Amino acid sequence: MQPLVPDIPVAVIGAGAMGSGIAQVAAQAGHQVFLLDQREGAAEAGRQSIAKQLQRRVDKGKLEQSALDALLDRIMPVNELSELAGAGLVIEAIVEDLDIKRSLLANLEEVCNASTILATNTSSISVTALGARMKHPERLVGMHFFNPAPLMALVEVIKGLATSDEVAQRVYATAAQWGKKPVTATSTPGFIVNRVARPFYAESLRLLQEQAASSATLDAIVREAGNFRMGPFELTDLIGHDVNYAVTSSVFNAYYQDTRFLPSLVQKDLVEAGRLGRKSGQGFYNYAEGAQKPEPATVAPASSDADTLIVEGTPGPLAALVTRLSENGLRIIERDGPGRLRFGKAVLALTDGRMATERAAAEACNNLILLDLAFDYSRASRLAIATADQASPQAVNDACALLQKAGIAVSQVADRPGLVIMRTVATLTNEAADAALHGVASVSDIDLAMKAGLNYPEGPLRWSDNLGPGLVHKVLTNIQQSYGEDRYRPALLLRKNRFSEKGFYS
């Protein structure tokens, strides 16, 4: 399907940060853009905001003044819906209210040509519901940009029940021509990103509530071991807890209060206290001038008389850690065994979703120290560990000394199922697998959405495949057994993959 050619005008309704950003994207692609906002002077203010932001690029020599002038000439503030009649694509980016959006769409059907595509930038309202009262709902499609629209690559193209394939395909092609990375999804609560991302916040919030570690420590682990751009607490402070909590509650209620999406009491308290994050000056962190962000808990330098790492069996994902230790001069001995590492008194293993204390008892291995997952053990600068209650102080010391030999900062967290990164990745994968099972989007589009929309280091389904068949299913099964909650039930596709010994891409 061919995209809209630049000769075809585009209209954007709503000149706030998102609407102005979308207008900039369309203008940069060569379209004449009509920018409309019901607030007097808002459309011109949106245009001036674009000019101000891009002028900084001109001042830095990254954009020619002539290019900026030409772009601004293509953005035309207008005052009436009737002035949008000649647009080939109209994108609404107004308030998230079903009735208000429905009213606007009804008016647009009267004003615009029959061939005009009508798009909604809604992040939470059903495209099917928005189109239900339209005369021609087949012309309505979701075109969900991410903020800031000029910088964020992802566009979710959302098909309502009545959306025509031709309209969806043309919007997809247009978004791609505009330099975006589009994905196609069906109109289900949260679409792809706002649904699949819930565990990224929820699991760290639960670990905080369970006193596994401080917010600063959990954030540091997520960044420095998981390779995510931001930790969940600094990210929700940036988003705003009122916004993040509202989205979680919306998805929770939309899925008939499925416990997988259960909102956090910790975040609810912040919202009720008015501690909304950066915009209020206080969230998990204090943003007052001169306030110092707390440091993550890091184990003090440890020493050990041990000089040999014994690798028992296949180390699996820990293989890169073994290589890293070898490159740092540690002597390595390999022998048969259950995939564990021995160093001094410490017996180290990758978490499988059980608590270290439980696993130590089951495996008759008192000095068990569990290692968290890392995105890349060869580069991780921090790693979380959990120790069995039965472990001796010397075993804990030896484990910390081992990791520190590789230049890894160690954060010891309370003994909780799945630790931090493994638990986060497993639950993200679970939600992504469930979305794929129900036809929300393809496996590849789900992974692309999470990388392009939220800057994840890897798509959760690809990440699961990289860990090896069955591991995420095993972790989730053990976490579910520990809590006895339906929240951690493994998705059907994960269970199927576990028995076929295949991955999502094989």
Cβ burial of 185 (10 Å; 0-12, 13-18, 19+) is buried
Between CA 233 and CA 160 the distance in angstroms is 33
Across-strand partners of 349?
A: 370
pLDDT at 367: 98
In degrees, rounded to 5, the angle at the alpha carbon of residue 100 between the alpha carbons of residues 95 and 106 is 125
pLDDT at 1: 75
Q: Please give the torsion angle defined by the CA atoms of residues 81, 87, 93 and 97, in that order, rounded to the nearest 10 degrees.
A: 50
| Number of Cβ within a 10 Å radius of residue 478 | 21
DSSP string spanning 368-434?
Answer: EEEEPP-S-TTT-SEEEEEE-TT--HHHHHHHHHHHHHTT-EEEE----TTTTHHHHHHHHHHHHHH
**Is the Cβ–Cβ distance between 481 and 503 less than 8 Å?**
no
| Number of Cβ within a 10 Å radius of residue 504 | 22
**Is the Cβ–Cβ distance between 307 and 313 less than 8 Å?**
no
**Is the Cβ–Cβ distance between 186 and 441 less than 8 Å?**
yes
Between CA 49 and CA 225 the distance in angstroms is 38
Count, in order, helices (H) and strands (E) of the chain: 20, 15
CA distances from 473 to 182, 214, 462, 463, 487 (A): 29, 28, 14, 13, 14
Cβ burial of 404 (10 Å; 0-12, 13-18, 19+) is middle
Q: Looking at 127-191, list the stretches that DSSP marks H as alpha helix, in order from N- to C-terminal side.
A: 127-131, 165-177
Catalogue the active-site residues. Answer: 123, 144, 156, 194
Between CA 66 and CA 58 the distance in angstroms is 10
**Is the Cβ–Cβ distance between 197 and 146 less than 8 Å?**
no
Residue 364's contacts (CB-CB under 8 Å, 6 or more residues apart) are: none
- CATH entry, 10-187, from 2.40.50.140, 3.90.1150.10, 3.40.50.720, 1.10.3470.10: 3.40.50.720
What is the token pair recorded at 363?
């495996």
Max Cα–Cα distance, the chain, nearest Å? 81
pTM flag (> 0.85): yes
Q: Where in the chain are the domains?
A: 10-187, 308-412
Across-strand partners of 347?
A: 342, 368
**For the packed helices 65-74 and 42-59, what is the interaxial angle rounded to 10 degrees?**
160
What is the token pair recorded at 408?
């890894």
**Is the Cβ–Cβ distance between 322 and 316 less than 8 Å?**
no
pLDDT at 333: 97
Q: Looking at 301-368, list the stretches that DSSP marks H as alpha helix, in order from N- to C-terminal side.
A: 319-327, 356-362
Domain 308-412 sits in CATH 3.65.10.10: no
Local confidence pLDDT in tens for the 506 residues of the chain: 799 999 999 999 999 999 999 999 999 999 999 999 999 999 999 999 999 999 999 999 999 999 999 999 999 999 999 999 999 999 999 999 999 999 999 999 999 999 999 999 999 899 999 999 999 999 999 999 999 999 999 999 999 999 999 999 999 999 999 999 999 999 999 999 999 999 999 999 999 999 999 999 999 999 999 999 999 999 999 999 999 999 999 999 999 999 999 999 999 999 999 999 999 999 999 999 999 999 999 999 999 999 999 999 999 999 999 999 999 999 999 999 999 999 999 999 999 999 999 999 999 999 999 999 999 999 999 999 999 999 999 999 999 999 999 999 999 999 999 999 999 999 999 999 999 999 999 999 999 999 999 999 999 999 999 999 999 999 999 999 999 999 999 999 999 999 999 999 98
In degrees, rounded to 5, the angle at the alpha carbon of residue 438 between the alpha carbons of residues 244 and 501 is 105
